[in-house]
Amino acid sequence: MEKIIEENKQGESLVLEQKDGNSKKLFIESYGCQMNFSDSEIVASILANEGYNTTQNLEEADLVLVNTCSIRDKAEQTVRKRLDQYNAIKKINPGMKVGVLGCMAERLKSKFLEEEKIVDMVVGPDAYKDLPNLLKEVEEGRDAINVILSKEETYGDIAPVRLNSNGVTAFVSITRGCDNMCTFCVVPFTRGRERSRDPQSITEEIAALWERGFKEVTLLGQNVDSYLWYGGGLKKDFEKASEMQKATAVDFAQLLDMVATQFPKMRFRFSTSNPQDMHLEVIEVMAKHHNICKYIHLPVQSGSTRVLEAMNRQHTREEYMELVNNIYRIIPEISLSQDMIAGFPTETEEDHQDTLSLMEHCKYDFGFMFAYSERPGTLAARKLEDDIPAEVKNRRLTEIINLQQKMAFERTQRFVGQTVEVLIEKESKRSNEHWSGRNSQNTTVVFPKEGNYKPGDFVNVKISNCTSATLIGDAVGYSDMN
Ligand code: SAH
Ligand code: F3S
C-alpha cells in the first residue's frame, strides 16, 4: 500500500555485480524509505572497494548490515525482530559481524551496542565513508560507532551500483536531511540538517544512467522543493553566502528545468514535495516539459488548520487547498497523492471531518495513511500527550483509507477510453504474457505483449478497462519519447 515505504521491498537484500578479487561476503538489507534503499547502494559501492562482494545468503555472510528506519515504532520493532534472527545465525557462525546503519543507528547511538549484544557496529546516515575505518576496528575485536551528522555530506562523489533494479527506472538523491521540524517527525534528528547536492554531480549520475539504458529518474529528497545549491553547505546558511554565490544559486525549479532539457528522452519524477516549499515555478516547469511526469506526492498530514499548526506544518488548510487548486488549474491532468496521520494528539472528531473533507476537495489518486506513533525526542512527544485512544485512531484511519480507496477508483477510471504513454518496466507480476509500466500520472498499466516492445520502450496504450489501481489496455504504437 505504501509507496514511500514500499512494503513489498522491506527487508530486500541487495546483490550487486561481483568484483574479481573480493573474497569477503556482505549481506545488506534495507527498511524504510527510498532514501535508505539508495543509501544501501552507496554503502555496497564503498565496501566493494574494501574486499566485499554482496550475497543473498545470510548464513555465509562475513558482514551483515541492516539499514534501518525509525519513522514509526512498528518500523523499529521489525528491525529488532530481524536482529534476533541474525543472533541465531551468529551462534552457528561466530565470525559473522553485524552492523546497524541508518535512522535507528542515529537515534539510539551507543545504546544499540549496550542493548543489543550482537551488534558490532553502529553507523549513522552521514558516516558511511568512515566504514573502512570502522570495519578495521571491528576486525580487531572492538565495537565501532560513528553517528556524526554532517553539514556537507551528500555522497555526490560516490557512484552507486544498481544491479537488482529493473534497468529502466532509478532514484537519484538530490538533498539530504530536513529542516522542517514537523513536531511528530524523527527525520530531522536522524538525518540531520538539510543540504543539497552539486547539480553537476546530479547530471553526471543521470548521464551515466542514460548511457546504461535507464529511461526514468526520480529525484529524491525529504523535501525536494527546498533544493538550493549555492556551492555547498547547509540550506539554513544560505543567508550568509556571498553575493556571487546567491546570484548563481540553483533552486529546484531550475534543476528540474535543467535535467528535463538536457535529457529530453528521459522521464523525470521527484519525491517528496512539501506544501510550504512547493512554488508555482515548479508547476510551470512541469507544465512546460512533456518528460516531467504529471504526478506530485504532496503530503498534508491533516485537513485541520489547528492540527496543522500543532504539527508545525507551516501552512493552513486553506493555503494547501489553494496550492492544489493552482496545480489543477495549470496542469489539469495531474495526479496527486497524500500522506495522512490519524489521531495526532488533541485531534477532535471535527478535525478528523476536516481531514475527510479536504481529501474530497483534493481528489487524490493515491494515499499513504498512518496512525500517529509517538517518537521519542520529537517536540510532540515532549509537549503533547498521546491522548487519542488506539481504537479511535484506528477507526479514523480506516475511514481515511476507505475514502482514499473510493477516490482512487474514481480517479483511475478517468483514463478508461484514453490513450496513455507508458514506459515498460517489467513483466506483469500476474501474467508473463503482459508488460507492466506506469503512465505519466504514476498509475500502473498492464497490456498484452504484442509486437517487439520491450522494457525501456515508451509505448502508447489505449485503455479499455481498470481495477481500482491498475489500468488495462492494448499497445497502439511507440510514443515520440523513444
Ligand atoms: N518528507 C519525508 C517524510 C518522511 S516521513 C518524505 O520524503 O516523504 C513519511 C511519512 O510518514 C510522513 O509524511 C508522515 O505521514 C508519516 N509519519 C512521520 N512521522 C510519523 C509518526 N510519528 N507517526 C505516524 N506517521 C508518521
Ligand atoms: Fe519529517 Fe516534516 Fe521533514 S514529515 S522529513 S520533518 S518535512
Distance CA 309, CA 316 (A): 8
| 180, 278, 320: residue to mutate for ligand 2 pocket, most atoms within 8 A of CB | 180
Distance CA 173, CA 42 (A): 11
All cell numbers assigned to 87: 543472533
Residue 41 has pLDDT above 80, yes or no: yes
Distance CA 294, CA 2 (A): 19
Contact yes or no for 419/462 (Cβ under 8 A)? yes
Which residue, by CA, sits nearest to atom 24 of ligand 1? Answer: 372
Query: Which pLDDT value is given to residue 17?
Result: 66
Query: What is the pLDDT of the chain when averaged over all its residues?
Result: 94
Distance CA 105, CA 418 (A): 48
Residue 257 has pLDDT above 90, yes or no: yes
- Tens of pLDDT, residue by residue over 383-421, are 999 999 999 999 999 999 999 999 999 999 999 999 999
Reported confidence tier of residue 161, pLDDT bands at 50, 70, 90: confident
Which atom of ligand 2 is nearest to 185's Cα? 1
Q: In the predicted model, what is the mean pLDDT of residues 112-139?
A: 93
Q: In the predicted model, what is the mean pLDDT of residues 117-132?
A: 95
Contact yes or no for 271/4 (Cβ under 8 A)? yes
Distance CA 341, CA 295 (A): 21
Which residue, by CA, sits nearest to atom 1 of ligand 1? Answer: 222
Please say whether the structural domain 7-146 has been given the CATH code 3.40.50.2300. yes
Which residue, by CA, sits nearest to atom 10 of ligand 1? Answer: 339
185 lines ligand 1 (CB under 6 A): yes
270 lines ligand 1 (CB under 6 A): no
Which atom of ligand 1 is nearest to 185's Cα? 19
Distance CA 132, CA 144 (A): 11
Cis peptide before 272 (omega within 30 of 0): yes
Reported confidence tier of residue 21, pLDDT bands at 50, 70, 90: confident
Residue 3 has pLDDT above 50, yes or no: no
Question: Residue type at 78?
Answer: T
Question: Residue type at 383?
Answer: K
Nearest ligand for residue 71 CA: 1
293 annotated to bind ligand: no
Residue 326 has pLDDT above 80, yes or no: yes
Q: In the predicted model, what is the mean pLDDT of residues 351-363?
A: 98
Q: In the predicted model, what is the mean pLDDT of residues 108-129?
A: 92
Query: Which pLDDT value is given to residue 232?
Result: 87
Reported confidence tier of residue 6, pLDDT bands at 50, 70, 90: low
CA of 338 to the centre of ligand 2 (A): 14
Q: In this structure, which CATH number among 1.10.1040.10, 2.40.50.140, 3.50.50.60, 3.40.50.300 belongs to the domain 419-478?
A: 2.40.50.140
69 annotated to bind ligand: yes
Residue 179 has pLDDT above 80, yes or no: yes
- In the sheet where 366-371 sits, what is the strand order? 295-297, 335-342, 366-371
Helix, strand or coil, per DSSP, at residue 171: strand
461 vs 10, residue with greater confidence: 461
How are beta strands 419-427 and 434-438 bridged, if at all? antiparallel
- Our CA angle for 306, 310, 315, nearest 5°, is 65
Structural domain spans, the chain? 7-146, 169-412, 419-478
b/e map 375-407, b = 16+ CB within 10 Å: beebbbbeebeeebeeebbeebbeebeebbeeb
Residue 19 has pLDDT above 80, yes or no: no
Distance CA 14, CA 164 (A): 7
Reported confidence tier of residue 15, pLDDT bands at 50, 70, 90: low
- Please provide the distance, in angstroms rounded to a whole number, between the alpha carbons at the two ends of the chain: 31
CA of 272 to the centre of ligand 2 (A): 10
Reported confidence tier of residue 165, pLDDT bands at 50, 70, 90: confident
Which atom of ligand 1 is nearest to 184's Cα? 22
Reported confidence tier of residue 74, pLDDT bands at 50, 70, 90: very high
CA of 390 to the centre of ligand 2 (A): 23
Query: Which pLDDT value is given to residue 2?
Result: 35
Distance CA 15, CA 23 (A): 15
Residue that has been written with the C-alpha cell 544498481 in this structure: 162
Fold that domain 169-412 belongs to in CATH: pyruvate-formate lyase- activating enzyme (3.80.30)
222 lines ligand 1 (CB under 6 A): yes
| 185, 315, 338: residue to mutate for ligand 2 pocket, most atoms within 8 A of CB | 185
Count of C-beta atoms within a 10 Å radius of residue 214: 21
Reported confidence tier of residue 459, pLDDT bands at 50, 70, 90: very high
CA of 4 to the centre of ligand 2 (A): 13
252 lines ligand 1 (CB under 6 A): no
CA of 326 to the centre of ligand 2 (A): 23
Residue 153 has pLDDT above 90, yes or no: yes
Reported confidence tier of residue 10, pLDDT bands at 50, 70, 90: confident
| 302, 339, 375, 401: residue to mutate for ligand 1 pocket, most atoms within 8 A of CB | 339
Lowest mean pLDDT among 15-24, 220-229, 306-315, 324-333: 15-24
All cell numbers assigned to 357: 473533507
Residue that has been written with the C-alpha cell 527498511 in this structure: 31
Write the CB contacts of 140 (distance below 8 Å, at least 6 apart in sequence). none
Residue 11 has pLDDT above 80, yes or no: no
Reported confidence tier of residue 8, pLDDT bands at 50, 70, 90: low
CA of 368 to the centre of ligand 1 (A): 9
Query: Which pLDDT value is given to residue 247?
Result: 87
283 lines ligand 2 (CB under 6 A): no
Query: Which pLDDT value is given to residue 117?
Result: 81
CA of 145 to the centre of ligand 2 (A): 26
CA of 185 to the centre of ligand 1 (A): 6
Q: Smallest Cα–Cα separation from 422: which of 463, 381, 388, 387?
A: 463
